[in-house]
Structure 1
Amino acid sequence: MGRLLFFAIIAVLVFWLITRFIRKEESQDKESRSIEGEDMVCCAYCTLHLPRSESIVIQDKYFCSKEHHRLYSQ
């Protein structure tokens, strides 16, 4: 009876350690997968939202294309 109890406790401890290790790896994967965001801006002509890096900035206004800047200026 004592041996059975001993092996049961060992099995529970091994199971607990394995699940703890797996959870730790999953949380590290989630942290490394996080994507850093970028500021979004709005086109002054059509109000389309686009990343700042893809926009055209003219006179402190953001545009999604040169055509929209031209139409906005008229």
Structure 2
Amino acid sequence: MIDVIYRTSRKDVEAGRQSPRHHDERTFMATMQGILVSVAELTAATQVALLHAGPILEFHRLPGAAPAHTLAMTYNL
């Protein structure tokens, strides 16, 4: 799917209009969401020697920085 997205031209992409590229990107995102959510649920629920195989997917506040400041930093990456 990634190969298809990169081969599809962006020249016809306009705000508010559908395009083949937009369709391919949205399909890819939906597919990845379905795959990653399933994998995350499975690894978080699977116990190995009294520990979980994956992260328990909880929210953890980052030390020191306010959440708004942290979000602003991610947009500048």
TM bin, normalised by shorter chain, reads 0.3 to 0.5
Structure showing greater Rg: 1
Higher helix share: 1
User: Which of 1 and 2 has higher RCO (CA within 8 Å, sep 6+)?
Assistant: 1
TM-score (norm 1): 0.38
Higher strand share: 1
